[in-house]
Amino acid sequence: MVRSAPVESAQSVPPSRAAATQPLQPLQPLQHVQPPYVPPSVARLAPAPRIRVGLKTAERGVRLTASTPFRIGADGQFIETQDVYLEVGRSTPAESVVYRVQVSSFPSRSGAEDFRAALGKQDDIHDELWIRREDGSGRFAVRLGAFAGESSASARLESLRLRGYEGLSLVREPTRSSRPHELLLHPVGQPTLPLAALSLLALPGESGGVLEVDGRPYRGYVEVFVNRTNLFTIVNVVHLEDYLKGVVPAELSPEAFPQKEAIKAQALAARTYAVKRLGQFSEDGYDICATPACQVYRGVSVEHPMATEAILETRGEVLTYRGELVDALYTSTCGGRTENSENVFSTAFPYLVSRACFLESRGGSLETSPALVPASLETATLRALDVLRAEPSSPDASVSLAEAAALLGRTLTHLGQSSCLESPTTGSTEINVATLARLVGEGLCWQRRLQFLVSDADVRRLVPNVPGSGISAEGARYLAFALREGIVEPPPEGLARGGALGRRDLHRAMYRLLERGGDTLLRPATVIRVGPGRVVLRDDTLSDRENEIVTGLAPTGRLFRRAGDRAYFAPEVVLLPGDRVEILRGDRGLEVLVLISEGASFDRSSRMSHWTVRKSSEELSASIGRQHGLGLVRDLRPIRYGRSGRIIELTVVGTESSVDLKGLAIRRALGIRENLFFLDVQRGPDGHARSWVFTGRGWGHGVGLCQVGAYGMAATGFGYRQILAHYYPGTKVVSHAGSARLDVDKLRHAP
């Protein structure tokens, strides 16, 4: 969402933060005001090494709450409360300057407003957005943020550049508005208290306490001060390891990716990233931001036991290359291979090079007994449940009414239901879809229910009157209900061409009848380890993620692979740790196993491992043409590819001009997930491109640690140091876990 901000009005900027902080005036003798108070030592509330996290930088008010009383104030004068709202009080006119990042400019205000609206919807934009008229050119510029100093603005510009934004520049704006000279505290249930101070501390009552900022809880303590834009900056000062507890689960969820070694690798990357960037926003009063522009930090609300254990077990460890902290970039899903950093971010690093998201196989294979004939998944399942009494044969052979009735009876018995067939059905008459629907309906006792369950209008809609089909009015009602319930399906050619059903069709109908009855036929599971003739699985339907099933394939067991919605018989499957499967267990082992996972790369479990997107010419013209003045997009021409197959340079041809895009600017301009894609153009009768189909892999920038790949490596049995060594080749894990504090300065300035 675009942050609301005036288009042309100016904001005054105060002097530096230190100069803006005034001594707290003596408090009035109100009952809720405490005597002079010595706050707890910050070394106890946020032990070293500590980090200052900018939670919010443009707030007009902020609410602080806690489950136990906390103190808020400055210079030894504090009040005690559990709920207080802060806002600025009286103010006087002031003039100063502010730094902003200019993202783009447009000849018209409407173009700038459209771009600002689109920019505000981006996941990595959490700043106020402004529109300003440029001196000289008269163009309408879209600018971002409000920074006290040039270095903080430059840090934000660099973070945007690394995310594919082009044409960025720094601007220095003079501003003028009202400078507040007091704050108003509104403790719940107590009188409003004006304070002649522009900087306050909020301190929990004891070490380990938690403070909530607008409802979100944080460890450590909180600073609130009025910044150069006359709005509040809220800073959480917290121990580095406690900071990571609110980062690691937000970046790699242990719920979705429950492998501790992968979480450990994420902890090392996040810790290294934070330490390397300490002080990046020092001019604005904090070290690092809490948004995706830095690392996502969500405090206590996202903490998870597995992530906390991973952080504690790697306490103080960082990643270095030849004694220097590395730029520990990481990406969500690399699509099978990462990319060289210079092909995405323009800067080469020897440890950020293209790496395959696959190593030697640690899997194994299972084989269906050669004595078993191939069969469909439905047939194999019915056989495993003993609904089908004999081994399958002749799946295309026609089915008699007697055979169908007998199989229906055993299916209902398995469900614990009594059949309403009045007498044993005999005869060798072949059945079709209508006959089967009536047989199922009578077995399920639908005779007296159908007139209420299926109306005449339903019948006409579901079973049109087809000449020559031989379906009676009563038979049409049975068929309509069976079709609606998904138990039977007509031939692709329709009812008029529908001939006799084969055994495969009958077995499919009984399988669906079992599913409709609420029977859990196949249970989802995840492969943990594979050995000769044995597989260790985790049942994904159970809440205990540590449960293990050690089993093999039963002598009568069959194996399948799933492609889309269709499962097909496989004499052999190769299983890798982390593979998703569906299983049916019997007394002698697995009677059915269906392999769901695709591919062999470590990031194959991600739903973004493979994707296809179609973009119309109008969509691309709106997102690219307007910003770059191209007019209508006519062609997309890949110029260069990276080691991983990613497009690293692309020419966009429009009706008015062309533009060359590089690195992340490509996926941002096209509005797709990754640069790892291939495109196919679809042209209209006039020969002009009407749409493009993007077939790609991955999600993110594709450089450094592949987060889902790390999960796949951990599931395969690799440790976190092996994972880091694979994705950051040549690096070294430096441990300071044995010392009282991480020597941050030494690491940041190592020779």
DSSP-derived secondary structure for 144-175: EEEESSHHHHHHHHHHHHTTT--S-EEEEEEE
User: Distance of CA 41 to CAs 208, 213, 278, Å?
Assistant: 12, 21, 22
Outline where DSSP puts E strands in 588-684.
589-595, 611-616, 633-641, 647-654, 658-662, 677-683
pLDDT at position 706 is 95
- Under DSSP, is residue 539 helix (H, G, I), strand (E, B) or coil? strand
For 195, other C-beta atoms within 10 Å of its C-beta total 21
Task: State pLDDT tens for residues 617-642.
Answer: 888 888 786 667 788 889 999 999 99
For the chain, give every domain's residue range: 1-238, 263-359+721-748, 364-372+521-595, 387-516, 611-696
Q: What backbone phi and psi angles, to 5 degrees, belong to 740?
A: -70, -30
Outline where DSSP puts E strands in 369-419.
none
> Per residue in 711-750, is it b (16+ CB within 10 Å) or e — as a string?
bbbbbbebebbebbbbbbeebbbbebeeeeebebeebeee
Encoded amino acid at 435, one letter: T
pLDDT at position 210 is 95
> Per residue in 454-475, is it b (16+ CB within 10 Å) or e — as a string?
beeeebeebbeeeeebebeeeb
Of 156-165, 176-185, 490-499, least confident by mean pLDDT is: 490-499
Could you tell me which of 566, 533, 528 has the C-alpha nearest to residue 547?
528
Task: State pLDDT tens for residues 194-240.
Answer: 888 889 999 998 888 899 999 999 999 999 999 888 889 999 999 99
- Rounded Cα distance between 539 and 583, Å, is 9
Outline where DSSP puts E strands in 240-377.
288-289, 318-321, 324-325, 330-331, 364-367
- Rounded Cα distance between 541 and 524, Å, is 7
Looking at CATH, the fold of the domain delimited by 364-372+521-595 is given as OB fold (Dihydrolipoamide Acetyltransferase, E2P) (2.40.50)
Q: What pTM was estimated for this model as a whole?
A: 0.77
130 has which bridge partners? 143
- DSSP assignment letter at 84: E
- Rounded Cα distance between 347 and 329, Å, is 12
- Under DSSP, is residue 715 helix (H, G, I), strand (E, B) or coil? helix
Mean pLDDT across the stretch 660-674? 88
Q: pLDDT at residue 491 above 80?
A: no
Could you tell me which of 749, 743, 751 has the C-alpha nearest to residue 240?
743
Could you tell me which of 419, 417, 410, 571 has the C-alpha nearest to residue 506?
410
- Sheet with 658-662: list strands edge to edge: 633-641, 647-654, 658-662
Percent of the chain at pLDDT exceeding 90? 43
Taking a C-beta distance cutoff of 8 angstroms, is the pair 94, 179 a contact? yes
Q: pLDDT at residue 712 above 80?
A: yes
- Under DSSP, is residue 748 helix (H, G, I), strand (E, B) or coil? helix
Q: Two tokens at 703?
A: 């450089």
Taking a C-beta distance cutoff of 8 angstroms, is the pair 409, 389 a contact? no
DSSP 466-487: -TTS---HHHHHHHHHHHHTTS
With a CB cutoff of 8 Å and minimum separation 6, the contacts of 209 are 45, 66, 68, 70
pLDDT at position 107 is 73
Higher pLDDT, 29 or 575: 575
What's the CA angle centered on 141, arms 138 and 146, to 5 degrees?
A: 130
